[in-house]
Structure 1
Amino acid sequence: MKRRIKKVAVVGSGIMGSAIACHFANIGVEVILLDIVPNELSEKEKKQGKSLEDKSVRNRIVDDALKTSLKSNPSPIYHQDFAKRITTGNLEDDIKKVKDVDWIIEVVVERLDIKQQVFEKLEKHRTPGTLISSNTSGIPIKFMTKDRSDDFKKHFCGTHFFNPPRYLKLLEIIPGPETSEEVLEFLNNYGEKFLGKTTVVAKDTPAFIGNRIGIFSIMSLFHMVKEMDMTIEEVDKLTGPVIGRPKSATFRTVDVVGLDTLVHVANGLYDNVPKDERHDLFKLPDFIEKMMDNKWLGSKTGQGFYKKVKKEDGSSEIKSLDLNTLEYREKKRAKFDVLDKTKSVDVVADRFPILIEGKDKAGEFYRKNFAALFAYVQHRIPEITDALYKIDDAMKAGFGWKHGPFQIWDAVGLDKGIELMKAEGYEVAEWIEELSKSEHNSFYSVKDGQTLYYDIDQKSFAKIPGQDDFIILDNIRQSNEVFSNKDLVATDLGDGILNIEFRSKMNSIGGDVLNGINTSMDIAERDFDGVVISNTGDNFSVGANIGMIFMFAVEQEYEELHGAIKYFQDTMMRMRYSSIPVVAAPHQMALGGGCEISMHADKIVAHAETYIGLVEFGVGVIPGGGGSKEMARRAAMTYQKDDVELNRLRENFLTIGMAKVAKSAHEAYDLNILERGKDIVVVSRDRQLAIAKQHALMMAENGYTQPVKTNNIKVLGRQALGAFLVGTDQMKAGRYISEHDQKIANKLAYVMSGGDLTSPQYVSEQYLLDLEREAFLSLCGERKTLERLQHMIKKGKPLRN
């Protein structure tokens, strides 16, 4: 029988429970969110004359928790409308409703006795065969099902979502002693395919996989920072983006998560893994104990390793904790010679061999840090998992590492890693010694586009399961390359579909990217059936290369700038009117030019976590790669008889004028950047490219016909232009916008109105593109625009002037 999840019950509405409920609502599942009934009335309820029998009182805890979650930033939900899929209730009046759900997820307080009581109540109403799981982060699964029925035990396991569930990809699945294989297989597939997770089946050991390795790594750094007399700024500099970790690195991450949360897990490990060879490492250093005593827990208490303070002039500054004096001081800039050697190395994996050879303190830090990490993970097999790739998957998906421990080890070389361990006095595991002497001598390899891992029991490589539904560009790029230049690679995806991949810094769009798109389109139209535009970067594209625009503008080389902007526009038209289908697959940031490229494709297959928008106002210009034209065209395409057409155009005008960015792909529909009925959203980033390829193939096979250039875009002329100019005057008079903001807005109004026409008329795309290009160029001659461009280049954020 096919198992489907149409309705879930989440029991416990705290931070995690509400966020898990929101993520199921994100994917279209109906959710019942339950919590306990309050013991007494609140002061507000007393004043309102309510009683403990009122439904609003009995649901107060769950309702307040969900409201708080929905207001949090970043939001746990893709779109606020999706919250309507969640129904709230309490564990006395509504527990019987669990009989109608397909999956019950318990997310109550981390106490075994309370969880067991909850499970006893749930079993009285649970329909046999219903999945049931606990979101515990450490309580042994085997203890939870005491006195439960055989059917309950068969369908029960741990499902440890990482916080926040919408954004962190890791879902650990921990079977109990009697969990059926069918349940494990279903949850493993469902988590990956429907929830967009990296699902990892873990053994029932303390802290499972992610937190076992992650907390070890942090605790190791806590001890190392004192041993090497390092500052927190130095450690965060060395453990951030340079090695493929989040910008928050180590100490800022702890501040965000909460020191108490980390200490709770560390203490649990200290108590429950007495035979761990690094057991003493989980004992809290003195400075952590002192911070706990002072309640310096991080963001939640206003201070931790960092503290924001107000200066006398009213501005704020961030101060850092001196770990020797435990006093806050001004932040110190951290600089290391070895980091300079990696600045030109874009591929993170290629930096590791350079970093460990450093002759400065940073080099010593990396040698010690990686040696400790390698030594620890080698001994966790088979204790926490039998397969080494699961450790890497857990660290990447749960802690935001670009490379897991064994991938880092492969990057520096197996034998070099052994050398680092021995230099620090660590014992080398027997299986590592065997691997070193074997013909393999690495943890991973690639064959036929599939990633293989070293299977310790079989002493040979095995395919990582679950890859059949993925296309892994890193595995096929070299063998399937069709064309490349400095900033772009075109790769044959098979079945007649070509992938166009940006490879520039931050995937910005400059001359080489545009040249590459045009050349790739020529090749594709000659030899392929369709095109996908996707890449493996942290972001799809942050937009046009504003450094190039600034250089042309400041040198007043307007002919060159005119040519560059026209080339961008022509490239967008080249894509739109290609003889074969073009599918864009944006993810994360798709800003400015990245948004324009997506909007000119035949179809967008967006990852749910796509933050897309036309943000050019922030650098003093309007969208110049077809974005302004496109928003005018899209408004015109929606005009219906008796519409107030100006209102539809105004929506798109404000999308650009307010530099709106969708905070999820679903929000992009509201901004008219994604089009309903044409573009789609996928939750699984791993499957996105394969799905995009399927859609390109489907369009090609169903008789794709080259579009005819349109000449029937209705523009409103003075009717719209006058209204927009009055609006910008009012905004300026009210001091909502600056004089330069008004100038930019008026230029945009002129373009989207179709110019100063006496009456509505029908025009071509090229007509609007010419207006757009003229407005863009004129703004590039403004001093305040140059100031904005320069500020963005130097500071990475917009200037209001």
Structure 2
Amino acid sequence: MAAAIRRVGVIGAGTMGAGIAAQVANAGVPVALLDIVPPDATNRNVLAETALARLRKAEPAAFMHDAAAKLVTIGNLEDDLGKLADCDWIIEAVLERVDIKQALYRRLEAVHRPGCAISSNTSTIGLKLLTEGLSEAFRRDFLITHFFNPPRYMRLLEIVTGPETSPETVEAVTRFADVALGKSIVHCADSPGFIANRLGIYWLQLALTEAIDQGLTVEEADAIVGPPMGIPKTGVFGLMDLVGIDMGPLVNASMRAVLPKSDAFHRIDRDVPLVTRMIGQGLTGRKGKGGFYRLDRAAGGRAKQAIDLQTGDYRPERKPALPEIEAAGRDLRALLASPGKAGTYAFRVLAQTIAYAATLVPDVAESIADVDEAMRLGYAWTWGPFELADKLGTAWLVDQLAAQGMDVPALLRDAAGRSFYRVEAGKRQYLGTDGEYHDIVRAPGVLLLADIKLASKPVLRNASAALWDIGDGVACFEFTGKSNALDDKTIELLGQSIEVVRSRFKALVIYNEGSNFSLGANLGLALFAANIAAWGEIEKQIAAGQKTYKALKYAPFPVVAAPSGMALGGGCEIILHSDAVQAHAESYIGLVECGVGLVPGWGGCGEMLARWRAEPKLPRGPMPAPAKVFEGVSTADVSKSAHQAMEKHFLRPTDGITMNRDRLLADAKQRALGLVDGYKPPEPPTFVLPGPSGRAGLYSAALGFHRRGLATDHDLVVADALAEVLSGGDTDIIDTVDEQAMLDLERRAFMRLARTAPTLARIEHTLETGKPLRN
């Protein structure tokens, strides 16, 4: 069995090294961050110290919570090399030069404890070259672990091992990176660029040169090689701006030097004068004075500009007119087959990228599944290249490549007429290089709802939700609407599911595999109802949600919510009504209703009051808990991680956090099963609240923000309605307020605000722009 990793050392406090150290700390593991002593430095730890300060202020945040930063100790390689002696894993993230890395490794040999893993975060240098001339003991503990930037948010970790690398070392690093760091592991051959960058570099260079050759604008290129292909809307030029335009020529030169002459990369590799000129002018992307896109800050403005690929001059950004994309809809083949520039560009980029991917298996990647996983997680593609080939049809793709005189690799030619993926006997399979299909095997402890769906049918389903049997007597309730928004159908099926679980299952997990757990109630339906003055229908839905959430809370079986991504508004409230939560570390939770001019309507106010009232560090009395809830809810505060959600009381200290997204469902299921024996529903709470005097105090706080220009006139109206709910309405301080009274206060405040013109304007603006309206 592999040894546990309890302490980590990171050498190199640049962007990647510091980010890796932060993620290790996020996992609750102490980490030493070391760098060189700069010449003439008065502060010998200045590089690591500066990096830690930068991490604390980073946006998006590098640390999941403030306590994680305290697990990072800093030092330098001259005075503090001994700090690495008790580490279980040392990660090198220094300059991409073999001589510098090898000089460091020879120093590490003096402090390296046998069995301690040593890895390089290199993205371009092979393992064989890195370990040349080093001792057998060192080579046994050495591997490459290629993280992607930013290390907290990018899930891919490519691992490269050598023939002498100890299996125990590989197992220890793999297990820790998977479970503790939340990474999806792809094992790669020791070849240039490994998998994701080998293909990604080719794709970016191809897309750049084809756009220039075909006379496209950067907006047109990004619109074509973007969302229609399941690629982020940054497309290619936006991505180059993000990673740094100056990186392109460097990585291309590296690939040029090490790839065999037969590699297709050499056919598209060329210097681009525009890129050379941009780098010379400091136009290196977001880190520089601009890139292919930039903000024109003249006269204090922030107008977005785009560069002309032919002249190199900037002009105002403009929305591309590409009717072919709209006409094709979701039919990717129709886009690639369409006449005109959109179809030509789409085909030449995507078809050749898929063909290049086919040349990488099995020499670079063991299987097509590894290539697809690497591009999904390393470049945020919705579908990998072989999944895209299936969307196009392998026979069609081969025919079109041949017709246009392009290479058809053997793997692609042999697959023609068959799909690269299929479902057989409820299991997803991929086509191997042996011509046979093989099951996709999940790591132990990984349970995906997507796999369950292949082998079963839902217990219940409607247009907005579904109930699944996930085994061992546990059911899973899944939101399925757009953005997992909650509507009357969601609430209706949740109510039905409670009855089904009561009679047929032991426990319930609430979970889905969307980008976000739930963005809250469906505001579009609410706005439609308001526009036709269907106030009775709106109030009916508020009451139905309240009733169903309380039925969930007091059900005779345990309920575990398992959020990932955003859980806002009604999505947050369903978490608050669960017995326990197993949250993905990247969960962003909050009651945001005040941002659209409303108050929480499905019991969120009472649940948050109960949680803050139980906080031992909070002074006793009727006012402190309402004040804390008012502070968070009135500002639509959202946690930036699951750890921070605990600090804000959206999660309890007893709730669990899962680092690896793929392990979330299995962890939630185990937590639910652990609650079954002896389960009893919670006792309904009662509240002692401050009444009108408390309402006045909370309103006064909002008024102070208004006087400082930090709150609008309508913010005061919303704040007063929230203050009335949290203070208990007209209650006397000697009275108790029960849960139903709190629900009634919520519902009345919600309906009163829903009838105001400023609230309706906020809802409409949010739906149109995705941004809050400050009215």
Q: Which residue in 2 is equivalent to 1:742? A: 716
Q: Secondary structure at the match of 1:259?
A: coil
- Structure 2 distance, partners of 1:359, 1:600, is 54
Quickly say closer, same or farther: Cα 1:774–1:463, change in 2 above 3 A. Answer: same
Give the drift of 1:639.
Answer: 6.8
2 CA distance for matches of 1:571 and 1:247? 38
Per the alignment, residue 547 of structure 2 pairs with 570
Letter in 1 for 2:543: K
Corresponding residue number in structure 2 for 1:773: 747
2:451 aligned partner: 475
Aligned residue for 1:161? 147
In 1, Cα distance between equivalents of 2:580 and 2:333 = 41
CA distance in 2, matches of 1:610, 1:115: 37
Q: Distance in 2 between matches of 1:91 and 1:554?
A: 67
Alignment match, 1:515: 492
Shift of 1:450: 4.0
Q: 362, 366, 388: which is aligned to 1:382?
A: 362
| Residue 473 (structure 2) aligned to one of 471, 496, 506 | 496
- Counterpart Cα distance in 1 of 2:494 and 2:628: 31
Deviations 1:92-129 (A, max 9, x none): 11101211110111111111111111111111111112
Q: What secondary structure, in the 3-state scheme, does the structure 1 residue paired with 2:137 have? A: helix
Aligned residue for 1:299, secondary structure, equals: coil
TM-score w.r.t. structure 2 length? 0.96
SS in 1 for 2:70: helix
Cross-structure match for 2:80: 94
Report the equivalent of 2:531: 554
Cross-structure match for 1:48:
none
Report how far residue 745 of structure 1 moved. Answer: 0.6
CA distance in 2, matches of 1:307, 1:395: 27
Shift of 1:527: 1.6
Cα shift at 1:449: 4.9
Per-residue Cα deviation, 1:237-259 (whole angstroms, up to 9, x for no partner): 22333332223222112111111
Q: Does the 8 Å CA contact 1:140/1:204 hold for their aligned counterparts?
A: yes
Letter in 1 for 2:95: V
1:610–1:137 Cα change, 3 Å: same
CA distance in 1, matches of 2:559, 2:327: 39
Indicate the residue corresponding to 1:223 in structure 2: 209
* AA matched with 1:411: K
Letter in 2 for 1:240: G
| Residues 359, 545 of structure 1: alpha-carbon distance in 2 compared, 3 angstrom cutoff | farther
1:24 matched to which residue of 2?
24
Aligned partner of residue 319 in structure 2, secondary structure: coil
Q: 1:642 to 1:411 in 2, by over 3 A?
A: closer
Structure 1 pair 2–182 and aligned structure 2 pair: CA distance change class (3 A) = closer
Structure 1 match to 2:342: 362
Amino acid at match of 2:396: K
Rounded to whole Å, the distance in 2 between the matches of 1:475 and 1:595 is 26
Q: In the TM superposition, what is the alpha-carbon distance from 1:336 to its structure 2 partner?
A: 2.8
Distance change in 2, residues 1:585/1:241 (3 Å): farther
157, 165, 183: which is aligned to 1:179? 165
> How far apart in 2 are the matches of 1:220 and 1:256?
18
- Tell me which residue corresponds to 2:258: 272
Q: Secondary structure at the match of 2:760?
A: helix
> What stretches of structure 2 of length at least 5 have no aligned partner?
none
Asked if the contact 2:156/2:378 (under 8 Å) is kept, the reply is yes
Change in Cα spacing, 1:358 to 1:704, as seen in structure 2 (3 Å) is: farther
> The residue matched to 1:672 in structure 2 has which SS?
coil
Alignment check: 8 A CA contact 2:2 2:172 kept: no
Deviates more, 1:178-187 or 1:612-621: 178-187
- Does the aligned pair in 1 maintain the 2:35–2:76 contact within 8 Å? yes
The Cα of 1:435 is off from its aligned counterpart by 3.3
Cross-structure match for 2:384: 404
Change (3 A) 1:639 1:154: closer
Q: Which residue of structure 2 aligns with residue 699 of structure 1?
A: 675
Q: Deviations over 1:681-720 (max 9, x none)?
A: 11000111111111122222x2322344x15233232342
Per-residue CA shift, 1:18-68, capped at 9, x if unaligned?
110000000011101111112114xxxxxxxxxx4xxxx111121012211
Q: Which amino acid aligns with 1:111?
A: R
Q: 1:439-492 CA distances to partner (integer Å, 9 max, x unpaired)?
A: xx22223345543222214x3222334344222222322523212111222221
In structure 1, how many angstroms separate the alpha carbons of the residues matched to 2:2 and 2:100? Answer: 33
Q: Distance in 1 between matches of 2:618 and 2:159?
A: 55
User: d(CA) in 2 for partners of 1:19 and 1:302?
Assistant: 24
Matched, 1:758 2:732: yes
Secondary structure in structure 2 of the residue aligned to 1:92: coil
Distance, in Å, in 2 between the alignment partners of 1:760 and 1:285 is: 77
Q: Does 1:392 align with 2:372?
A: yes
- Which segment is superposed worse, 185-194 or 511-520? 185-194
Equivalent residue, structure 2, for 1:303: 290
CA distance in 1, matches of 2:58, 2:391: 39
Q: Counterpart amino acid of 1:775? A: A
Aligned pair partner of 2:662 in 667, 686, 710: 686
Instruction: Look up the equivalent residue of 2:746 and give its one-letter code.
Output: E
Aligned to 1:6: 6
Quote the offset at 1:645 in angstroms.
4.7
C-alpha distance in structure 1 between counterparts of 2:392 and 2:309, whole Å: 31
- Aligned partner (choices 288, 291, 296) of residue 278 of structure 2: 291
- Aligned counterparts of 1:641 and 1:10: Cα–Cα separation in 2: 39
Aligned-residue offset at 1:357:
4.3
Deviation at 1:69, TM superposition (A): 2.2
Contact 2:231–2:381 (8 Å) recurs in 1: yes
Code of the aligned partner of 1:692? A
Structure 1 residues 341 and 714 mapped into 2: Cα distance closer, same or farther (>3 Å)? Answer: farther
Worse-matched range after superposition: 574-583 or 110-119: 574-583
In 1, the alpha carbon distance for the partners of 2:479 and 2:227 equals 20
Kept in 2: contact 1:19–1:165 (CA 8 A): yes
Go from structure 1 to structure 2 and tell me whether the alpha carbon gap of 1:162 and 1:642 turns closer, same or farther (over 3 Å shift). closer
TM-score, length basis structure 1? 0.93
Please state whether the residue corresponding to 1:58 is helix, strand or coil.
Answer: coil
Q: 1:262 to 1:169 in 2, by over 3 A?
A: farther
Would the aligned equivalents of 1:500 and 1:531 in 2 still touch at CA under 8 Å? Answer: yes
* Counterpart-to-counterpart distance in 2, 1:127 and 1:640: 44
Q: Structure 2 vs 1, CA of residues 361 and 524 (structure 1 numbering), >3 Å: closer, same or farther?
A: farther
Give the paired residue count.
773
* Partner of residue 348, structure 1: none
Matched residue SS, 2:375 = helix
1:133 offset after TM fit, Å? 0.6
1:150 equivalenced with 2:136 (yes/no)? yes
Task: Deviation per CA, 1:501-546: give whole Å up to 9, x if none.
Answer: 1111111111222222222222222222211111121111111111
Q: Name whichever of 524-533 and 426-435 sits farther off.
A: 426-435
Q: Deviation at 1:209? A: 0.7
Return the alpha-carbon distance in structure 2 between the equivalents of residues 728 and 22 of structure 1: 36
| Contact 1:751–1:772 (Cα < 8 Å) also in 2 | yes
Q: Deviations over 1:341-374 (max 9, x none)?
A: 566x6xxxxx434433445543333322221112
Retained in 2: the 8 A contact 1:374–1:421? no
User: Residue 424 and residue 575 in structure 1: after superposition, are their counterparts in 2 closer, same or farther (change >3 A)?
Assistant: farther
CA distance in 1, matches of 2:320, 2:687: 56
SS of the residue 1:334 aligns to: coil
Distance 1:624 1:139 in 2: 56
1:694 to 1:335, Cα distance in 2 relative to 1, 3 A: farther
Measured against aligned partners, the alpha-carbon deviations of 1:300-330 in whole angstroms (never above 9, x if no partner) come to: 1121000101354x43110011101111111
* Identity between Structure 1 and Structure 2 (%): 36
CA 1:121 to 1:304, structure 2 compared with 1: closer, same or farther past 3 Å? same
Q: Judge conservation of contact 1:78–1:666 (CA < 8 Å) in 2.
A: yes
Contact map agreement 1:107 1:134 (CA 8 A) in 2: yes
How far apart are 1:722 and its partner, in Å? 2.7
What is the rounded CA distance, in whole Å, between the counterparts of 2:415 and 2:705 in structure 1?
A: 69
